[in-house]
Amino acid sequence: MVKPQTPSAETPARPPQLKIEREAHKLEKRLCRLVGQAISDYQMIEAGDRVMVCMSGGKDSYGMLDILLKMQARAPVPFELIAVNLDQKQPGFPAEVLPNYLSQLGVKFHIETQDTYSIVKKNIPEGKTMCSLCSRLRRGILYRVARELGCNKIALGHHRDDILQTFFLNMFFGGKLKGMPAKLVSDNGEFVVIRPLAYVAEKDLARWATERAFPIIPCTLCGSQDNLQRQVVGEMLREWERKHPGRVENLFASLQNVVPSHLMDHAQFNFKDLQPTGLPNEDGDKAFDPETFPEPQALPGVSVVSLSEG
């Protein structure tokens, strides 16, 4: 019987650089696979599309453009990508960073300069959240730019974690089960908005940004504000991921496995006219059978004992 070799002075371990390159290649393959799957599942991009890729200068939008360019090179149908950045005239904003990067990349791009910073600062009291007004201003400007550039699709860099955060924010503070769809029609009815990173975890985008050495531009207008509810919910999800591996993945999977008949929205399901059919139905309620789940694990602030008390 031949014994497996163990590392020794004669058989040195694999060089660290090779391991780093191998891990980077695996990450790239995973990102391309997940973005490709999202594009396919929701038919995000079709032949002849002209896609405006919104660039903020953050890791997510850099990652989105980077992966979309890779997908474009191997796609079976032709489509165009145009990177667009809105320079909001924030004090200290390095206006040359994105144009320099996009020029070196050789991608079509447009920089739109609009002083939304002054408008937001003028209308929002000190200490209040700026995100809502800033978002409305950006949206109107970007719709106009998309129209002027002849784009029919608008790509945003929201990832899986953003989608889950939005779901919980709507549930906790809006009283509704509403998330952030991977594809929708813009509120003015003019464009299709897509989120190619819908299946991608934020931690993978952070790793990819480091690997690719993207010239990150921090947001000092709204993204750095403290105590935003989104940050609180994001930390809750990260804590769950640390303590309960697989929980975040199951949460995201639940957004794609909705059973309206087992919720309580009578506008989405016709409860009033329900009648027995006399036929077995797998989706029917097993009224006398308790649903089975894995052994309970404590949620933040909830003990396992309290979970088992009726």
Report pTM.
0.82
Q: Could you tell me if residue 275 is inside a domain? A: no
Q: How confident is the model at residue 306 (pLDDT cuts 50, 70, 90)?
A: very low
Question: Where does the pLDDT of residue 90 fall: very low under 50, low under 70, confident under 90, or very high at 90 and above?
Answer: confident
Residue 179 lies inside a defined structural domain of this protein: yes
Computed over its alpha carbons, how large is the radius of gyration of the chain? 24
Domain assignment of residue 289, yes or no:
no
> Is 79 a residue whose pLDDT tops 80?
yes
> Does residue 9 belong to any structural domain of this protein?
no
Give 263-300 pLDDT, tens digit per residue.
999 999 999 999 888 888 777 766 566 666 565 454 44
pLDDT in the model for residue 298: 45
Q: Domain containing 199: what range? A: 17-254
Three-state SS letters, the chain: CCCCCCCCCCCCCCCHHHHHHHHHHHHHHHHHHHHHHHHHHHCCCCCCCEEEEEECCCHHHHHHHHHHHHHHHHCCCCCEEEEEEEECCCCCCCCCHHHHHHHHHCCCEEEEECCHHHHHHHHCCCCCCCHHHHHHHHHHHHHHHHHHHCCCEEECCCCHHHHHHHHHHHHHHHCCCCCCCCEEECCCCCCEEECCCCCCCHHHHHHHHHHHCCCCCCCCCCCCCCCCHHHHHHHHHHHHHHHCCCHHHHHHHHCCCCCHHHCCCCCCCCCCCCCCCCCCCCCCCCCCCCCCCCCCCCCCCCCHHHHHCC
Q: Is 214 within the bounds of a domain?
A: yes
Residue 309, pLDDT > 70, answer no
Residue 173 lies in a domain: yes
- CATH assignment at residue 129: 3.40.50.620
Q: What percent of the chain has pLDDT over 70?
A: 82
Q: What is the pLDDT of residues 27-66, one digit of tens each?
A: 999 999 999 999 999 999 999 999 999 999 999 999 999 9
For residue 14, the model assigns a pLDDT of: 58
Considering the domain boundaries, does residue 295 fall inside one? no
- Give the number of other Cβ atoms within 10 Å of residue 240's Cβ: 18
* Total count of domains within the chain: 1
- Domain-located, residue 4: no
Say if residue 305's pLDDT is above 60. no
**How many angstroms separate the CA atoms of 170 and 209, rounded?**
29
